């Protein structure tokens, strides 16, 4: 049996071996794996809802990152990891409050460690198209411990999404990259970064704004166990559309992630 990306994902699915801490904590499951292609299913539990009990398109960005990165892993010739360079998510509708969200993603072929493109779609349990996503990714070495670690990260269930991230409501907050939110390369999982960035951007807009497109650029990794400042700012709030930008910044001020959200106005 080849020690390649498909084998790495088979161990995730069948043995709970080498599962990134954030993926296990969130309960995302690989339901199919083939060369360059994966299907990921995330059950939509109460801890993925906003404090008032409503769903958020930020969860679509989270699932998109998990789906796209696993597709790239499925293209690798070894047991390495993947980091996100950039990602775009088009939100066709808000995900449901219950049920599940599934991604079907395919990556371009591995080409000597160069940036790779991946694309896919997200559907709910009824087959409704919720989002389309694409991005660029880079193969990187995984931590030695990541491939051999057996079992999933387990924490008490959170009351809602902000409780899961352990952050307050609003467009600016500090986020701690605890172990349960980390990936296989020693940093905060990219999907967690996109989730936090979109929550901050939405909070900066008038209530009722509906996300249309989210774009994310990952400039530097967020080291595990570090804290980052997440801040969203409204750029434009017109009659029909609105735009907000958000960033994740290290304590020394360096920008780690940037994001732009285009939304329909309330």
Task: Give the model's pLDDT for residue 146.
Answer: 57
Is 119 part of a structural domain of the chain?
A: yes
Domain that holds residue 69: 5-147+157-264
Task: Give the model's pLDDT for residue 223.
Answer: 85
Task: Give the model's pLDDT for residue 73.
Answer: 96
pLDDT(22) > 70: yes
Is 78 part of a structural domain of the chain?
A: yes
Separation of alpha carbons 7 and 111, rounded Å: 19
Total of domains in the chain: 1
Is the C-alpha dihedral spanning 122, 214, 180, 139 positive or negative? positive
| The residue count for the chain | 266
Q: How many CA within 13 A on the CB side of residue 202?
A: 24
Is 14 part of a structural domain of the chain?
A: yes
Cα-based distances in Å from 209 to 55, 91, 202, 250: 13, 12, 7, 28
Residue 112 φ/ψ, nearest 5 degrees: 65, 30
CATH code, 205: 2.40.160.210
Note the pLDDT tens digit of each residue in 221-231: 888 888 999 99
- Say if residues 217 and 86 touch (Cβ distance below 8 Å): yes
Rounded to 5, what percent of the chain is helix, strand, coil? 25, 40, 35
Is 223 part of a structural domain of the chain?
A: yes
Is 162 part of a structural domain of the chain?
A: yes
Note the pLDDT tens digit of each residue in 136-188: 999 988 766 655 678 888 899 999 999 999 999 999 999 999 999 998 777 89
Is 208 part of a structural domain of the chain?
A: yes
Q: How many CA within 13 A on the CB side of residue 139?
A: 21
pTM metric for this prediction: 0.95
Q: Name the nearest CA neighbour of 257 among 29, 83, 124.
A: 83
Is 152 part of a structural domain of the chain?
A: no
Cα-based distances in Å from 18 to 13, 48, 63, 179: 10, 24, 19, 14
Note the pLDDT tens digit of each residue in 68-109: 999 999 999 998 889 999 999 999 999 999 999 999 999 999
């Amino acid at each position: 049996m080849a020690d390649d990306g498909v084998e790495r994902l088979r161990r995730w699915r069948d043995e709970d071996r080498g599962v990134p801490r954030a993926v296990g904590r969130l309960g995302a499951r690989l339901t199919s794996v083939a060369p360059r292609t994966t299907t990921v299913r995330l059950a939509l539990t109460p801890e993925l809802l906003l404090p008032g009990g409503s769903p958020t398109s930020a969860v679509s960005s989270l699932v998109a990152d998990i789906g796209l990165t696993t597709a790239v892993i499925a293209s690798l010739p070894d047991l390495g990891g993947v980091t996100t360079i950039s990602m775009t998510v088009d939100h066709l509708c808000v995900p449901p409050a219950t049920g599940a969200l599934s991604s079907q993603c395919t990556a371009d072929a591995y080409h000597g460690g160069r940036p790779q493109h991946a694309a896919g779609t997200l559907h709910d349990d009824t087959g409704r198209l919720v989002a389309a996503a694409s991005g660029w990714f880079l193969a990187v070495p995984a931590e030695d411990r990541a491939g051999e670690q057996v079992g999933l990260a387990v924490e008490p269930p959170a009351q809602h999404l902000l409780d899961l991230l352990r952050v307050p409501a609003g467009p600016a907050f500090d986020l701690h990259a605890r172990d349960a939110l980390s990936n296989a390369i020693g940093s905060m999982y990219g999907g967690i970064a996109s989730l936090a960035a979109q929550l901050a951007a939405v909070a900066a807009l008038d209530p009722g704004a509906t996300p249309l497109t989210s774009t994310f650029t990952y400039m530097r990794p967020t080291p595990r166990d570090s804290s980052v400042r997440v801040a969203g700012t409204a750029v434009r709030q017109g009659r029909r559309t609105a735009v907000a930008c958000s960033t994740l910044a290290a304590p020394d001020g360096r920008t780690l992630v940037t994001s732009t959200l285009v939304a329909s106005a309330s």
